Amino acid sequence: MTVKVAVIYYSSTGNVHDMAVRLEQAATAAGAEVRRRRVTEIAPQAAIEGNPAWAAHVDATRDEPTATPQDIDWADVVLLGSPTRFGNVTSQFQQYIDTLGPLWAQGKLADKVYAGFTSSQTTHGGQESTLLSMYHLVHHFGGILVAPGYTAQLKFTDGNPYGVSHVSGPQSDLDLAGSTLEALDHLAQRTVAVAGRLAA
């Protein structure tokens, strides 16, 4: 059986988008069928235009497919991504989650493998609390949380047992590199492997 992976994420300026693309590549390399879906942008146009990087990313991804509840229904593995907003997920991401009530009521969010990824501007910018807020959702769904923990030596460099996080601010390398890429690959490989064992 081929494991089906849905990468569901919101990205404003592109950092979480780049993480989602890497997860898609890694899950595909691990033998999974993958749907990468961005969450619909709901911010006011004036706010978007006030940030050139945000406006550029919205324009660059305008034609990419957007997430629907059916994408989670379809999946065996769901990788959830959002930037941090004051230690929580974004309103755009939460708006998508709020559309999942009918699937939840039918039990269709349960018994899937879930894990999360995030990005913030600063090193301690709420990354862990953002991931944990995603995992509150997983508990309510009846999902199977497969956080990376310290299941590979690279996690001692990446340092985040809760998921994968990236620091994108001026004091860091804006591009994904090194330990972040390895951590994303590991997360994809681990969740696909666990889902495969569950299916077997």
Chain segment 143-158, per-residue pLDDT in tens: 999 999 999 999 998 8
Instruction: Check residue 176 and give its pLDDT.
Output: 64
Task: Report which of 123, 100, 107, 127 is spatially closest to residue 8, judged by C-alpha positions.
Answer: 100
pLDDT in tens, 155-190: 998 889 999 998 887 654 556 678 899 999 999 999
User: Tokens 């999360």 label which residue?
Assistant: 116
Q: What is the token pair recorded at 163?
A: 């998921």
Structural domain boundaries in the chain: 4-199
Q: How far apart are the first and last CA of the chain?
A: 8
pTM over 0.75: yes
What's the DSSP call for residue 37? E
111 Rama class: left (phi>0) / alpha (psi -120 to 50) / beta: left
Which residues of the chain fall short of a pLDDT of 70? 170-176
- CATH 3.40.50.300 for domain 4-199, yes or no, is no
